[in-house]
Amino acid sequence: MIAAARFFLVDAAGRQQRFYSTFAPRLHHGDAAVLQTQHWLQLHFSENLTGLAMAAQAKLGERTLLRRFRRATGLKPKEYVQHLRVGKARENLEFSSLSINEISWMVGYEDAGAFRRVFQKIMGLSPGEYRRRFGIAETQRVEEGKRRPS
C-alpha cells in the first residue's frame, strides 16, 4: 500500500519529489571492478569504510578507484556510501520506532550529529521531520492511542 501511495503521490508545485524517490544507483556502466565494489558496499555500508579499504576490495589503486567509480556511478565512493546509509535510515525511520541515535549508529555513523547533517543534505528534511511526515510506526502508535479508551 505504501509503495502504491508513493508511486501515485505528486506534491503540489514548489515541493520536492526527492522525499518519495529511493536511491537507485547506476549498475549498467560496464566497469566490472566498480560493480563488484558497489555490491560489496551494499553489504558493508554500515562499517567504517576508508578509500583504501574500498580500493583494496576492488584490487585497484585508491585514485584509480575514485576516478573510475565517479565516472561509472556519477558519485564519489563516500557520497555513494552516504546515499546507501540514508536509504537504510529512511526505512528505519518509516517502519520502526528506534531512536534517531540508534538508527544513525545502525547505518554506520558514530556521531548522530554527522548523520543528521548528511540526512538533511541528501533528503532536504531532518531525520525527525522525515519520520513525522512518513513514519508508519509513528502513525500506527497514534492510531492505536486514539482507539484506546481513556
Global pTM?
0.78
Smallest CA-to-CA distance from 69 within 121, 29, 38, 34 is with: 34
Mean model confidence pLDDT for the chain: 84
Q: Per residue in 91-137, pLDDT tens?
A: 999 999 999 999 999 999 999 999 999 999 999 999 999 999 888 86
Q: Is the pLDDT of residue 10 over 60?
A: no
DSSP state of 139: H
C-alpha cell at 29: 556502466
Strand (E) or helix (H) holding 119 = helix 112-123
Q: Which domains does the chain have, with CATH numbers?
A: 30-136 (1.10.10.60)
pLDDT band, residue 14 (cuts 50/70/90)? very low
Q: Do the Cβ atoms of 57 and 98 come closer than 8 Å?
A: no
DSSP state of 65: H
